[in-house]
């Protein structure tokens, strides 16, 4: 199992993924790349949200994307 | 399978620790059935680290890493070019006993506890676009703890667990 410090790190990454998806395609990314990039990140959110190491992290923003 | 012979309650985990008449065995059979195969590497051996960059070349993974460390793979990796250059993906399946023990994505940081759910086998997918890269665990259960696509480069390490 990851340490508390690692869980914090993973949660920060998760929140950053959510923010980036909600912000939308950056200007320097071609549309084809964005389509794959965003779908991979959403698919990752679908699996990581059920990881057994989370404790009381707020997943509301994740569920707004994946549900 | 490796480690299936026990001596005084402990699995034999060395590469060559089963001997017959002083000769190290590669395989041990009982009544015609293979019950043990020597470990190809010492347990904990870091087999390779692969790094790639956005807009780079990931097809070299097959010609270099798969060609150099074939025992680490259950099958030949498959490369696919996407619709937008340089979008491309490469899928691979690790053999039993090998696992991704480290994954770093430049934007999102490091998954340093390894594997999500397993330390043996699993199917993965390497990806690169014009500005992003990443690694996803796509089969075998569990998930990497760092996302599968972010800015700039990525790297991962494959280690032998012997399991």
Q: What ipTM was estimated for this complex?
A: 0.89
pLDDT value, residue B142: 78
Record: contact A40-B111, CB cut-off 8 A: no
CB-CB neighbors (< 8 A) of B108 in chain A: 13, 16-17
Read off the pLDDT of residues A13-63 as tens digits, 9 standing for 90 and up: 999 999 999 999 999 888 888 999 999 999 999 999 998 899 999 999 999
Q: Where are the domains of chain B?
A: 6-37, 46-160
Chain-centroid distance, C-alpha B159: 6
Read off the pLDDT of residues B67-82 as tens digits, 9 standing for 90 and up: 999 999 999 999 998 7
3-state secondary structure of A64: helix
CB-CB neighbors (< 8 A) of A23 in chain B: none
Cβ contacts from A onto B, under 8 A: 78
pLDDT value, residue B17: 67
E-only strand ranges, A1-67: none
Would you give per-residue pLDDT tens digits along chain B (163 residues)? Answer: 455 667 677 776 666 667 788 887 778 888 888 887 888 898 899 999 999 999 888 999 999 999 999 999 999 999 998 766 678 999 999 999 999 999 999 999 998 765 455 678 899 999 999 899 999 999 887 789 999 999 999 999 999 988 7
The first and second tokens of residue A13, run together, are 């990454």
pLDDT value, residue A3: 87
Rounded to an integer, what distance in angstroms lies between the CA atom of residue B150 and that of residue B153? 8
Nearest to A47 among B87, B127, B143 (CB): B143
pLDDT value, residue B28: 83
Which ranges of B25-141 would DSSP assign to H, the alpha helix?
60-61, 67-68
A41: alpha, beta or left, given left = phi > 0 and alpha = psi -120 to 50? alpha
Rounded to an integer, what distance in angstroms lies between the CA atom of residue A67 and that of residue B4? 45
3-state secondary structure of B65: helix
The first and second tokens of residue A49, run together, are 């949200």
Angstroms from B36 CA to nearest CA on chain A? 30
C-alpha distances out from residue B155 to A18, A32, B11, Å:
22, 23, 33
pLDDT value, residue B156: 95
Residues ≥6 apart with Cβ < 8 Å to B10: none
Rounded to an integer, what distance in angstroms lies between the CA atom of residue A18 and that of residue B73? 33
Q: Residue B53 half-sphere exposure, CB side, CA atoms within 13 Å? A: 2
pTM: 0.85
pLDDT value, residue B114: 56
CA trace torsion B145, A27, A58, B117 (10° rounding): -10
Question: By the CB < 8 Å criterion, does A27 face chain B?
Answer: no
For residues B141 and B28, the answer to whether their CB atoms sit within 8 Å is: no
- CA-nearest residue to A17 within chain B is B147
Residue A46 — φ and ψ, nearest 5°? -65, -35
């Amino acid at each position: 199992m990851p340490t508390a410090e690692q869980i914090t790190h993973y949660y920060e990454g998760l929140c950053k993924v959510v923010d980036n998806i909600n912000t939308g395609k950056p200007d320097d990314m071609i549309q084809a790349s964005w389509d794959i990039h965003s779908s991979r990140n959403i698919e990752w959110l679908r699996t990581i949200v059920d990881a057994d190491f989370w404790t009381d992290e707020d997943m509301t923003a994740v569920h707004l994307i994946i549900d | 399978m490796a480690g299936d012979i026990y001596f005084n309650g402990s699995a034999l985990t060395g590469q060559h620790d089963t001997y017959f008449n002083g000769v190290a065995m590669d395989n041990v059979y009982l009544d015609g059935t293979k019950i043990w195969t020597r470990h190809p590497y010492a347990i904990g051996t870091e087999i390779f680290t692969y790094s790639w960059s956005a807009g780079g070349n990931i097809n070299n993974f097959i010609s270099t890493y798969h060609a150099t460390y074939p025992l680490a793979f259950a099958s030949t990796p498959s490369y696919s070019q996407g619709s937008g250059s340089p979008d491309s993906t490469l899928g691979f399946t690790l053999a039993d006993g090998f696992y991704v023990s480290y994954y770093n994505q430049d934007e999102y940081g490091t998954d340093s506890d390894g594997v999500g759910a397993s330390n043996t086998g699993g199917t993965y997918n390497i990806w690169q676009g014009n500005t992003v890269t990443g690694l996803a665990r796509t089969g075998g259960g569990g998930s990497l703890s760092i996302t599968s696509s972010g800015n700039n480069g990525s790297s991962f390490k494959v280690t032998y667990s012997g399991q």
